[in-house]
């Protein structure tokens, strides 16, 4: 199964054609969940079968406020890129290899490793302040 | 923050990452993917990920990461505004068999047949509470902080209760569950489970089973209330979608209808669980636990001691390997509880105190275990690998519920932590 990004983008007023991987995804009656199998209810009811009406059991999702992406850099040359671990096992070692990759392939890039405090979904105001003051860009990883 | 960011996610979490970014307002967020997993791989293997291609886009991985940070933004990527997602029409009309299939195909069931929630059945359910159909009940999310919480009212809960097959008299208990916002299908890779301990008069009113087979499929209220919790955890918060809002690697059979545990108050030598938490005996209360799961305790050290088995030793022995991020919930047959009283544990508190003092592990063991935490603070600096420390620092980690039909002095134990207790009476 694939995420139905096409439906989601349409819902948000964005052209699905912008996302190449949306091609070939099938339609669903709902935007939520994004996973689904092709509904089979298009088949004809058995002769004499009576139609009944039932209620939708879904809760009410909150409105979505679109967040524009931050401006991009012209290049990473001479820039400081913070490598931020979300705390999942292996993220520290993986980001260490990202730092090695930059050292080997783009030595003008300065990297700084940080572990985000708290659980994976927690905010880290202290780190956020440091990023705002010192980072030109952030690479965040990774989750298992 | 105004700083360009490149999120990197392993391929196993692709759907979760893409859909959650959209739900949080960034439907075109640039995300790069590595093979899965990263955890457990050598540094050379991780470096090979960087030198390889993104398995989703097929592009060289690090080139893509750099593009994420430097490629100019499209107009769509800078779009602002607000939109309200749709969850479909308020009602569906079709032949009953087609509706069963429709609910199943759209992820609204536990993959077993449901009771179709007609207006008539939902209206009957609403008679089980004094609360108005449009009254707000709560908010639920598959994982706090990770997914946006959905809201729901009494009517929306009633639809799910009807689908589970609940008679109206079960509805206050189901509303009490819904009011906590606790999803039974927590979106963790750990295949976590939930339990609810029920105390007070509601157990008798609903003819719940706290005796023989209490935790098995032998009682309508025990089964249906638990099933309603799972259906609510799918429908009221968009949860339980494997690969998107549910990531439990293996899943857990307990998630079908959860651990619903009416305490056997009549046969227990101790005050019931809700009284321990400060409620009155005649209040109907539901208390929630959350953690890794449940296992039998028959293999523990000390159970062969005669004439009274050393249940406390077995309990201590069995929980020592537990992950310390959750505590211990002991489910004791009344015969075990009375045996513990005979051994000198006149109260649950005395038993918790003994277990906290005598259940110990070495620092070496803790360091080698997943999800186990070492003490913090100045004293932690003095610890060596051979230091012996309490399994859990507080007696709060040890909880006891008496349940079972006294066919044998057995107990089960769950690596689960207590969360909260709420009133069922409030929702009558």
Query: What tens digit of pLDDT does each residue of B387-412 get?
Result: 999 999 999 999 999 999 999 999 99
Separation CA A54–CA B90 (nearest Å)? 9
d(CA B30, CA B4): 10
- On chain A, the residues whose CB falls within 8 A of the CB of B183 are none
Range of the domain at B52: 8-78
Q: Is the distance from CB of B292 to CB of B193 less than 8 angstroms?
A: yes
How far apart (Å, rounded) are the C-alpha atoms in residues B208 and B223? 9
- CB within 8 Å: A66 and B83: yes
Q: Are residues B295 and B324 in the same domain?
A: yes
Specify whether B233 is located in the same domain as B103: yes
Residue A23: its pLDDT value, please? 27
**Which ranges of B9-168 does DSSP label H, i.e. alpha helix?**
14-23, 43-51, 61-70, 96-105, 119-126, 154-164
B2–chain A Cβ distance below 8 A for any pair: yes
Alpha-carbon span B135 to B153, nearest angstrom: 5
Angle ∠(B353,B344,B352) on CA atoms, nearest 5: 20
- The answer to whether position B12 is within a domain reads yes
Min Cα separation A18/chain B (Å): 9
| Cβ atoms of residues B288 and B176 within 8 Å | no
Q: Could you say which residues of chain B have pLDDT below 70?
A: none
Which of B36, B86, B97 faces A144 most closely, judged by CB atoms? B36
A36 to chain B: closest CA residue: B106
| Shortest Cα distance, chain B CAs vs residue A48, angstroms | 10
The verdict on B53 and B183 lying in the same domain is no
Alpha-carbon distance B349 to B326, whole Å? 19
Chain A CB contacts of B62 under 8 Å are 101, 105
Q: Tell me, yes or no, whether B89 lies in a domain.
A: no
Q: Which of A71, A121, A138 sits opposite B144 (nearest CB)?
A: A121
Please give the average pLDDT of every successive group of 10 residues along chain A, which has 144 residues: 51 43 30 43 69 97 94 97 92 96 98 91 92 97 78
Do B150 and B295 have their domain in common? Answer: yes
| pLDDT score, position A60 | 96
CB distance B262 to B209 below 8 Å: yes
Q: For residue B2, is it within any domain?
A: no
For residue B366, being part of any structural domain is answered with yes
CB contact, 8 Å: B22 with chain A? yes
| Rg (chain B; Cα; Å) | 25
> Is the domain of B271 the same as that of B326?
yes
Domain-terminating residue out of B51, B78, B105? B78
Which of B19, B45, B78 is the C-terminal boundary of a domain? Answer: B78
pLDDT at B243: 87
pTM tops 0.95, yes or no? no
Q: Does residue B74 belong to the interface with chain A, where contact is any CB pair within 8 Å?
A: yes
How far apart are the C-alpha atoms of B316 and B306, rounded to whole Å?
18
Interface predicted TM-score (ipTM): 0.90
Q: In angstroms, rounded to a whole number, what is the distance separating the alpha carbons of residues B78 and B68?
A: 14
Instruction: Give domain status of residue B342, yes or no.
Output: yes
> What b-and-e string marks burial along A62-73, b requiring 16 or more CB atoms within 10 Å of the CB?
eebebeebbebb
Contact B260, B193 (CB under 8 A): no
Residue B91 domain-assigned? no
B44 lies in the same domain as B160: no
Domains identified in chain B, total number: 2
What is the C-alpha to C-alpha distance for residues B372 and B381, in angstroms, rounded to an integer?
17
């Amino acid at each position: 199964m694939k995420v139905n990004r096409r439906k989601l983008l349409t819902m948000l007023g964005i052209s699905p054609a912008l996302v190449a991987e949306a091609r070939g995804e099938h339609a669903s009656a709902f935007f939520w969940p994004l996973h689904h199998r092709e509904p089979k209810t298009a088949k004809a009811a058995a002769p004499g079968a009576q139609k009944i009406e039932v209620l939708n059991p879904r809760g009410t999702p909150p409105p979505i406020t679109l967040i524009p992406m931050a401006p991009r850099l012209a290049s990473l040359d001479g820039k400081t890129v913070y490598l931020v671990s979300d705390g999942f096992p292996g993220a520290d070692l993986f980001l260490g290899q990202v730092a090695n990759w930059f050292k080997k392939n783009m030595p003008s890039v300065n990297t700084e490793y940080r572990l985000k405090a708290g659980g994976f979904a927690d905010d880290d105001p202290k780190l956020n302040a440091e990023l705002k003051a010192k980072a030109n860009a952030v690479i965040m990883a990774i989750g298992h | 923050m105004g700083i360009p960011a490149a999120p990197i996610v392993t391929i196993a979490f692709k759907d979760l990452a893409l859909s959650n970014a959209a739900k949080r307002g960034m439907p075109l967020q640039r995300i790069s993917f590595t093979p899965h997993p990263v955890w457990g791989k050598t540094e050379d293997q991780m470096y090979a990920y960087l030198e390889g291609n993104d398995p989703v886009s097929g592009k060289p991985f690090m080139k893509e990461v750099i593009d994420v940070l430097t490629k100019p933004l499209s107009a769509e990527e800078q779009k602002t505004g607000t939109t309200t997602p749709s969850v479909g029409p308020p009602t569906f009309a079709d032949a009953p068999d087609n509706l069963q299939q429709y609910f199943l195909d759209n992820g609204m069931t536990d993959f077993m047949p449901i009771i179709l929630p007609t207006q008539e059945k939902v209206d009957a359910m609403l008679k089980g509470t004094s609360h108005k159909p449009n009254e707000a009940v709560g908010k639920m999310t598959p994982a706090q902080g990770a997914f946006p919480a959905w809201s729901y009212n009494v009517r929306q809960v009633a639809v799910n209760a009807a689908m589970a097959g609940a008679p109206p008299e079960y509805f206050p208990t189901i509303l009490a569950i819904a009011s906590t916002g606790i999803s039974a299908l927590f979106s963790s890779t750990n295949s976590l489970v939930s339990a609810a301990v029920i105390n007070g008069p509601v157990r008798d009113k609903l003819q719940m089973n706290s005796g023989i087979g209490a935790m098995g499929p032998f009682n309508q209220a025990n089964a249906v209330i638990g099933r309603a919790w799972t259906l609510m955890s799918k429908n009221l918060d968009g949860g339980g979608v494997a690969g998107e809002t549910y990531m439990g690697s293996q899943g857990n059979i307990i998630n079908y209808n959860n651990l619903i545990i009416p305490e056997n108050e009549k046969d227990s030598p101790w005050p019931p669980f809700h009284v321990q938490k400060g409620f009155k005996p005649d209040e109907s209360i539901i208390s929630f636990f959350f953690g890794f799961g449940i296992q039998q305790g028959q293999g523990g050290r000390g159970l062969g001691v005669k004439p009274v088995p050393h249940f406390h030793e077995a309990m201590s022995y069995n929980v020592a390997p537990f992950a310390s991020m959750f505590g211990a919930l002991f489910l004791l047959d009344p015969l075990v509880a009375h045996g513990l009283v005979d051994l000198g544990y006149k109260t649950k508190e005395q038993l918790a105190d003994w277990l906290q003092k005598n259940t110990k592990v070495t620092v070496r063991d803790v360091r080698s275990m997943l999800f186990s935490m070492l003490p913090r603070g100045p004293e932690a600096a003095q610890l060596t690998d051979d230091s012996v420390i309490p399994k859990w620092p507080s007696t709060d980690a040890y909880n006891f519920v008496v349940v079972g039909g006294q066919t044998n002095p057995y107990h089960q134990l769950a690596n689960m932590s207590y969360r909260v207790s709420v009133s069922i009476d409030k929702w009558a």
